[in-house]
Structure 1
Amino acid sequence: MIDLKTPAEIEAMRPAGSFVAEVLTALKEKAAVGVNLLELDALAHDMIRERGAESCYIDYHPSFGASPFGYVLCTSVNDAVLHGLPHDYALRDGDLLSVDFAASVDGWVADSALSVVVGSARPEDLKVIEATEAALDAAIETAVVGNKIGDISARIGGVAASYGYRVNTQFGGHGVGRTMHGDPHVPNDGRPHRGLPLRPGLVIAIEPWFMSGTDELYTDDDGWTLRSKDGSRGAHSEHTVAVTEDGPVVLTARNG
């Protein structure tokens, strides 16, 4: 069911969006050679407690997960491209790290993700990060009243193709509100002018993620982490966006 938000409800979602942005900014600053993924998760957990927020991940157990997630972050490194389960791993020079974070504040959820290179960067890693960020910007620009979900999907897929990447459509964006995942599904590729019309009050997480060499995944032995089938690296960018009469509003916008 599509749950359209009133202008007042969109305003009520802003604290969640600001908090998620604040946590991701802190994690981006913390990520460095030698920092353990469990340290990043602990930092986010501390910030959740201090804010009086709630994690959307700890007890999350969808059909594709082997067990309740158990952590407050997804930390995906190199060929791990989505749903990375935090574990005892110290970041190394040149690692490509993607962090996905969602939290609830006062009963409203926001969801966002970013990718960074730790230490020395490989050009191909910077390229795939740039592609996801460009696709996200293009998709947000398209999230206006009168367009359709297919227009957003087509913009994402078009940017991917322009960078030479294929798109996996198993996982994509989604509705956001009182819960982390709701209708509609927002695929990362599609046909323009198709699908759900974008109406004022629709709030969605738009999340392009690309792998540099394939569009195929497999699930790690931990039952959660999704890895590229050919070992190539991937990146992930995401914002929670409200469709309004005045244009798209990025609820999870970061200052840096």
Structure 2
Amino acid sequence: MALELELKTRENIRGIRKAGRIVAACHRALSRRLAPGVTTQEIDRFVERFMLDRGAIPAQKGYKGYPYATCASVNDVVCHGFPDTEPLESGDIVTIDMVADVDGWKADSAWTYAIGKTTSSTDKLIRAAKAAMLAGIKQAVPGNCIGDIGHVIQKCAEREGYKVVKMFVGHGIGRGLHEYPQVDHFGVKGDGVRLEEGMVITIEPIITKGSADVFIMPDGWAAKTVDGAWAAQFEHTVAITKGGPIILTRWEE
């Protein structure tokens, strides 16, 4: 049976935007809180309280048994890291991924933060990951294909000497946390599902300095690079419109 594409109305997108604004505000607040000595478990509690105080539900908590409001992925953990009590150290990087649900509509965003003073090599990785995401978002227009997004992300990352982690993908989002279509962050121009006005998707490339191969930790969730190379990820929820892509989780200019 073919998977069904659900196009969102303007009213639907306004609902997703409400959730997106809470996610954006939470990331903005985190950017001022993350520092050496802070634990990702403290950040997880902060995010859950931040959302609940604003009428949102942390949609990741309980999803397929996931026990936290956030994913907190440090250094060589590429995604789905469990928050823990280990203090962050100067030089670390951490990706905080969160999903807010407001009145049944969801918005999703991940951001890699540098902790304290980092190396120029780490700073370059972070810049390249963000640039790859933004390049992909520019391709999110009606008439283009999923492959156009993936192609430019892969090209952007590899031009800077990095690799895309192919195991994890973006996705449609709305009432469901993961909806059709799958959004690969690699590919060929013109391939894949054609983008239409009313689609809402996440674009969330993970890029790494070393091998793009990963393994899953014993908790069944956290994924780490096989060679210990660090990874960075940036993610926005994006609406496809005739006027161009609209980032529904924007917080940084």
Shift of 1:29: 1.3
- Tell me, in whole angstroms, the C-alpha distance in 1 between the residues paired with 2:170 and 2:124: 22
CA distance in structure 1 between the partners assigned to 2:177 and 2:31 by the alignment: 22
Distance 1:100 1:244 in 2: 25
CA drift of 1:221 comes to 2.4
1:195 partnered with 2:192? yes
The within-5 A match list for 1:201-220 is 201-220=198-217
Q: What is the percentage of aligned positions where both structures have the same residue?
A: 40
The aligned counterpart of 1:18 is 21
CA distance in structure 2 between the partners assigned to 1:206 and 1:125 by the alignment: 22
Query: Is residue 148 of structure 2 the alignment partner of residue 174 of structure 1?
Result: no
Q: Distance in 1 between matches of 2:69 and 2:175?
A: 17
Residue 69 (structure 2) pairs with residue 72 (structure 1): yes
Structure 2 Cα separation of the partners of residues 91 and 200 of structure 1: 42
Aligned length: 250
Where does residue 33 of structure 2 map in the other structure?
Answer: 30
- The unaligned stretches of length 5 or more in structure 1 are 62-67
Alignment of 1:1-256 (within 5 A): 1-61=4-64, 68-255=65-252
| Equivalent-residue separation in structure 2 for 1:50 and 1:39 (angstroms) | 16
Q: Which amino acid aligns with 2:110?
A: A
Question: Structure 2, unaligned stretches of length 5 or more?
Answer: none
Decide whether the 8 Å contact of 2:144 with 2:190 is kept in 1. yes
Deviation by residue 1:193-249 (Cα, 9 ceiling, x = unmatched): 111111100000000111111111011222211111100110000000000011110
Q: Secondary structure at the match of 2:106?
A: strand
Tell me, yes or no, if the aligned pair for 2:237 and 2:249 is still in contact at 8 Å. yes
Contact 1:69 1:85 in 2 (8 A): no
TM-score, normalised to structure 1, is 0.95
Q: 2: CA distance between counterparts of 1:19 and 1:255?
A: 14
Query: Could you tell me how far 1:132 is from its partner in structure 2?
Result: 1.1
Q: Structure 1 runs of 4+ off > 6 angstroms?
A: none
Deviation at 1:46, TM superposition (A): 0.7
Partner letter of residue 237 of structure 1?
F
CA distance in 2, matches of 1:56, 1:13: 13
Aligned-pair Cα RMSD in Å: 1.0
Opposite residue 35 of structure 2, the aligned amino acid is A
Deviations 1:80-132 (CA, angstroms, capped at 9, x unpaired): 11101111111111111111111101111000011111011112211111111
Distance 1:150 1:122 in 2: 33
